[in-house]
Amino acid sequence: MRSVDLNSNKTNYYILDAKYYKYGIYPERGENVLPQASDIIKQIAYGDYISNELKKEKHDITFSTYNAFLSPFDSLNNKFETSEKMFYAGKSFFTKERNNQSKHQEVHLILIDTKWLIENYARDIELISQIRQKLIGLIDNDQNK
């Protein structure tokens, strides 16, 4: 596991888990495939661990930890009717009391056109910053709903 800090102010931490299968498309299982419960629980456990470790290190600093799956899709041939290269697909959570849950107990799903990402990521430093800000925006915008 490698933590990815997307935010330069060190008050928010984003745990990103890249998935190899396309959301909703898994021939062996049929359509409408979501990340499995075991994947979601494992991701929340990562968030628990990182949040607990950060509390030990940063006693007086308020911070938030977020979880997200990044899943591939093809923006040229997709069922989502979007021209975006990455977009927010939804979230999952496991908790009895949603009002008291930590932010990392929600696992967001963001779809990214992987071919576009690979073709452009290393070419353009500004694009890296734009992708970082877009990921933060997709997750943070959902938090305000």
DSSP 114: H
Structurally, how many domains does the chain consist of?
1
73 belongs to a structural domain: yes
What is the per-residue pLDDT for 1?
43
What is the per-residue pLDDT for 103?
83
Task: Report the predicted TM-score, pTM, of the whole model to 2 decimal places.
Answer: 0.77
Strand ranges, E, within the chain: 12-18, 25-26, 30-31, 64-73, 86-93, 106-113
What is the per-residue pLDDT for 95?
63
What is the per-residue pLDDT for 26?
53
2 belongs to a structural domain: no
27 belongs to a structural domain: yes
Domain that holds residue 129: 12-143
Q: Which residues of the chain have pLDDT under 70?
A: 1-10, 21-34, 58-60, 78, 94-101, 142-145
